[in-house]
Amino acid sequence: MENLNERKLRLLENIGKLIKAIDDEIDWFISSFMEMDPKRRTLARNLFYQKQEERAQLAKEAYERFK
């Protein structure tokens, strides 16, 4: 029974981390369109897309590893 509760707790912690990561991504996405300074807007947009590409590559590698 204790093991199940520990797994539930870890799952809830991971969900909390995912929610924070999603919130951070949304902030980056919004700033890439709402930033008034064109240089900062371009930088935010480029960083957002670069992070997306890196995550896609990591996800692909993880998928291939556990396939």
pLDDT tens by residue, 8-65: 888 888 888 878 888 887 877 777 777 788 888 888 788 878 888 888 888 888 778 7
> What is the model's pLDDT at position 50?
85
Residue 2 has pLDDT above 70, yes or no: no
- DSSP per-residue string spanning 3-60: HHHHHHHHHHHHHHHHHHHHHHHHHHHHHHHH-SSHHHHHHHHHHHHHHHHHHHHHHH
Residue 1 has pLDDT above 70, yes or no: no
pLDDT band at 67 (very low <50, low <70, confident <90, very high): low
